[in-house]
Chains A and B, each alone.
Chain A
C-alpha cells in the first residue's frame, strides 16, 4: 500500500463512483474526448470527470466488509463534501479506473 495519507488528493469520478488519488502519484493528466486520461504509477487510467484537488482528507483504512466483498485493494476510504470515496493505492489500481484500449472516455 502506498500514500494512504498524502498531502493532497486528486478526486475523479469514474464508473459511478468517486475516487481519490494521491497527488504525488499522478504524473500525467490530459483531456481525452469527453473524459480524462491519467497516468498513475506507470499505468494509464481513465476518468469521466475531474472533481478537484483536496487537502486534509481523512483517510480511513478499508473496512473489512470491503475486503470481503470487493476484489480490489484500495488504500482507504474517505468522505469529502458529503460524498464517500475510495482512495486508490497507486500500485494496485482498481480495474474500473484502468484505461481501456480504444476508449474515448
Chain B
C-alpha cells in the first residue's frame, strides 16, 4: 500500500511514468479517491470509542500511535448508501487541513482498493467546492475525488 503506482505507458524507448496521485477506497456504494500526499497509513479498522451526541459522520475516538485520533465515517461524509458488510474494513489515517495547521484523522472505509493516477484535467469539479472536490473516471468507474484540506477548515 505504501508504494506509489508507476505503470509504464508507451512503447520502446518512449516510456512515460505516471505516478499514483490518489488512494482509491470503497465507501459504501462509492469509490473515493484520497490524495496520496495526505495518506499517512492504512490499517485494519481501529477500535473506535463513540462520542455520545456526535453527528453520524463522527464515529468517535480511536488510539493510533499513542495519540487520540478522531475517526470519521467516509461513507457518511460522501452520502453513500452503506454497502454489504465489508470483509476487510480499514481505517485510513490522513492529514487534513492546511500544512501550518494540519490535523490527523481517520476515515473508516470498507476497503482500500488501489493507488491510481488521477489527472487534474479529468476531474469534473463539484459545485460546492467543499470536501467533495469533484468526480473523475478511473478504470471505467466514476470515483469521487476528495479535498481533505476542506475538512480542516
27 contacts between A and B (CB under 8 A): A16-B50, A16-B52, A60-B67, A60-B68, A63-B68, A64-B152, A65-B58, A66-B51, A66-B58, A66-B70, A68-B58, A69-B54, A69-B55, A70-B53, A71-B53, A72-B51, A79-B63, A79-B67, A79-B68, A84-B61, A84-B63, A84-B68, A84-B69, A85-B61, A94-B53, A95-B52, A96-B52
Mark B49-83 against chain A: 1 for CB-CB distance below 8 A, else 0: 11111110110111100111110100000000000
B151 at the interface (CB under 8 A from A): yes
What's the Cα separation between A64 and B152 when bound, in Å? 7
B97 at the interface (CB under 8 A from A): yes
B33 at the interface (CB under 8 A from A): no
What's the Cα separation between A73 and B26 when bound, in Å? 32
Residue of A nearest to B69 (CB): A84
B109 at the interface (CB under 8 A from A): no
Mark A42-74 against chain B: 1 for CB-CB distance below 8 A, else 0: 000000000000000000100111101111100
- Which residues of the partner chain B approach A86 to less than 8 Å between Cβ atoms? 51, 61
Is the contact region of chain A dominated by helix, strand, or loop, or is it mixed?
mixed
Point out residues on B near A: beta carbons under 8 Å.
49-55, 57-58, 60-63, 66-70, 72, 96-97, 103, 105, 151-153
- Which residues of the partner chain B approach A66 to less than 8 Å between Cβ atoms? 51, 58, 70
What's the Cα separation between A94 and B60 when bound, in Å? 14
Mark A1-30 against chain B: 1 for CB-CB distance below 8 A, else 0: 000000000000001111000000000000
A-B contact number at CB 8 A = 74
Point out residues on A near B: beta carbons under 8 Å.
15-18, 60, 63-66, 68-72, 77-79, 82-86, 94-96
